[in-house]
């Protein structure tokens, strides 16, 4: 396992991170023995970065991971994420503090290395089902950032991050503040816009080289959705993902399956497994600190870990990929 530094924090984390989310279901719905087996295998292979959230099983992922790490006596670099609900708008600072405290209880920890905001950040607050916050809500007086600083002063968190989902302009504003230590970036072979040039009018959301901007501000970057909810695997599931709504606009699962079929023949000369090609592609970008992968079993862990230190895709393959991106996978633009 190779390790990289999480931005300006100086913390060294594994290139492959253990994603404890809903898609892979392992840390949410699998039996305890399978969960322990997977976490132990990951630790044995050198994975030292674990990422969870309240939203994963409404706290189940945090509870399960916390119990397992306690039982194993393991203390990896640990990150969790809070998601605020619409009623939090009345007092964002207090709601944030309460959410962090509750997360620590579920994790059976007195502190976490990284606390992250899981809500989308948009130019205007969305009070609906997908409650989103504005940059002012995050950075302004009595906002999320102030609460994170309170928790840091109490020794309950070390660093701050946020999920890079929402309006790209709003996300860039949070990054430009210089207040956060990390960001989770939506970045894969089907939508590389967080780290590669794409044409104007690209049919998936254009994140405007968010990874590069974050690195300029000394932030660490964790890649999310590297496998595009399963579209970038050799055995994609019929349904795909865990939500009827795409995590990122323009990246609907059915559309991503079509894009993946155009990518497959491009990478076959380099890598036989579409999964490994996707992970190795993300690791090619030096500004990336870790690639979060959701595991369903130990064989998935082994396959992902094999990508660390394996090198990137060839320049010939990258040239073909750039042509795909510039033509928006063959669409007229």
CB-based contact 64:27 (threshold 8 Å): yes
**Residue 261 in tokens:** 């079929």
| pLDDT bucket at 253, cuts 50 / 70 / 90 | very high
What's the mean pLDDT in 293-299? 91
CB-based contact 79:116 (threshold 8 Å): yes
Question: Reduced to 3 states, what is the DSSP secondary structure of residue 204?
Answer: coil
Direct distance between the N- and C-terminal alpha carbons of the chain, in angstroms, rounded to an integer: 41
Between 127 and 155, the more confident residue is 155
Residues 6+ apart with CB under 8 A from 105: none
Q: What is the DSSP string of 269-324?
A: TT-S-HHHHHHHHHHT-TT--EEEEE-SSHHHHHHHHTTTTS----HHHHHHHHHH
Nearest alpha-carbon partner for 124 in 174, 185, 166? 166
**Residue 272 in tokens:** 């036989």
CB-based contact 69:39 (threshold 8 Å): yes
**260 within a domain of the structure (yes/no):** no
**263 within a domain of the structure (yes/no):** no
| pLDDT bucket at 331, cuts 50 / 70 / 90 | confident
Question: Reduced to 3 states, what is the DSSP secondary structure of residue 183?
Answer: strand
Residue 307 CA to residue 291 CA, distance in Å, equals 10
- For position 272, what pLDDT does the model report? 79
Domain count for the chain:
1
3-state secondary structure 20-82: CCCCCCHHHHCCHHHHHHHHHHHHHCCCCEEECCCCCCCCHHHHHHHHHHHHHCCCCEEEEEE
Q: pLDDT digits over 188-245, tens only?
A: 999 999 999 999 999 999 999 999 999 999 999 999 999 999 999 988 875 555 455 7
- For position 243, what pLDDT does the model report? 54
- For position 128, what pLDDT does the model report? 81
**Residue 200 in tokens:** 């104007």
Residue 87: CB atoms within 10 Å: 10
What is the CATH number for 187?
Answer: 3.20.20.100
**253 within a domain of the structure (yes/no):** no
Between 165 and 25, the more confident residue is 165
The partner residues of 1 in beta bridges, in order of sequence, read none
**112 within a domain of the structure (yes/no):** yes
- What is the distance, to the nearest Å, from the Cα of residue 266 to the centroid of all Cα atoms in its chain? 25
Please state the length of the chain.
Answer: 333
Q: pLDDT digits over 161-192, tens only?
A: 999 999 999 999 999 999 999 999 999 999 99
What's the mean pLDDT in 277-291? 98
- For position 240, what pLDDT does the model report? 57
Residues 6+ apart with CB under 8 A from 6: 12, 13, 77, 114, 159, 181, 182, 220, 289, 290
**37 within a domain of the structure (yes/no):** yes
- For position 55, what pLDDT does the model report? 93
Q: What is the DSSP string of 147-192?
A: HHHHHHHTTSEEEEEEE--B-HHHHHHHHHTT--SEEEEE--SS--
Between 254 and 129, the more confident residue is 254
| pLDDT bucket at 24, cuts 50 / 70 / 90 | low
- For position 313, what pLDDT does the model report? 96
- For position 238, what pLDDT does the model report? 53
- For position 129, what pLDDT does the model report? 81
What's the mean pLDDT in 244-269? 92
- For position 282, what pLDDT does the model report? 98
Residue 75: CB atoms within 10 Å: 11
**Residue 212 in tokens:** 């590069």
Q: Which domain holds residue 100?
A: 3-229+282-312
**235 within a domain of the structure (yes/no):** no
CB-based contact 280:307 (threshold 8 Å): yes
- For position 270, what pLDDT does the model report? 86
Q: What is the DSSP string of 230-275?
A: GTTSSS--SS-SSSSS-SSTT--HHHHHHHHHHHHHHHTTT-S-HH
Q: At what angle do helices 60-72 and 32-44 cross, to 10 degrees?
A: 60
State pTM to two decimals: 0.95
Is pLDDT at 329 greater than 60 in this prediction?
A: yes
**319 within a domain of the structure (yes/no):** no
| pLDDT bucket at 22, cuts 50 / 70 / 90 | confident
The partner residues of 159 in beta bridges, in order of sequence, read 114
What's the mean pLDDT in 105-112? 98
**323 within a domain of the structure (yes/no):** no
Averaged pLDDT score across all residues of the chain: 94
């Amino acid at each position: 396992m190779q390790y990289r530094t999480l931005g300006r924090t100086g913390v060294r984390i594994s290139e492959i991170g253990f994603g404890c989310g809903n898609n892979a279901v392992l840390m949410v719905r699998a039996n305890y023995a399978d969960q322990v087996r997977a976490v132990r295998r990951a630790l044995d292979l050198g994975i030292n970065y674990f990422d969870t959230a309240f939203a994963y099983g409404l706290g189940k992922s945090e509870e399960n991971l916390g119990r397992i790490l306690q039982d194993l006596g393991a203390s990896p670099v640990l990150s969790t994420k809070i998601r605020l609900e619409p009623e939090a708008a009345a007092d964002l600072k207090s709601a944030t503090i309460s959410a962090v405290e509750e997360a620590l209880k579920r994790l059976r920890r007195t502190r976490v290395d990284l606390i992250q905001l899981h809500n989308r950040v948009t130019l205007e607050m969305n009070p609906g089902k997908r409650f989103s916050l504005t940059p002012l809500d995050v950075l302004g007086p009595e906002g999320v950032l102030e609460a994170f600083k309170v928790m840091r002063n109490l020794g309950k968190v070390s660093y701050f991050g946020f999920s890079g989902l929402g309006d790209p302009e709003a996300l860039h504003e949070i990054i430009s503040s210089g207040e956060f230590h990390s960001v989770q970036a939506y970045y894969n072979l089907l939508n590389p816009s967080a780290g590669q040039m794409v044409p104007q009018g690209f049919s998936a959301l254009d994140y405007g080289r968010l990874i590069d901007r974050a690195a300029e501000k000394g932030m660490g970057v964790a890649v999310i959705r590297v496998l595009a909810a399963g579209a970038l695997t050799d055995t994609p599931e019929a349904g795909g993902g865990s939500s009827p709504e795409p995590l990122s606009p323009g990246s609907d699962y059915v559309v991503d399956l079509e894009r993946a079929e155009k990518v497959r023949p491009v990478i076959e000369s380099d890598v036989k497994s579409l999964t490994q090609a996707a992970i190795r592609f993300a690791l090619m970008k030096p500004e990336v600190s870790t690639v979060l992968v959701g595991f369903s079993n130990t064989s998935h862990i082994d396959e992902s870990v094999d990508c660390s230190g394996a090198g990137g895709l060839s320049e010939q393959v990258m040239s073909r990929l750039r042509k795909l991106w510039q033509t928006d996978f063959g669409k007229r633009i």
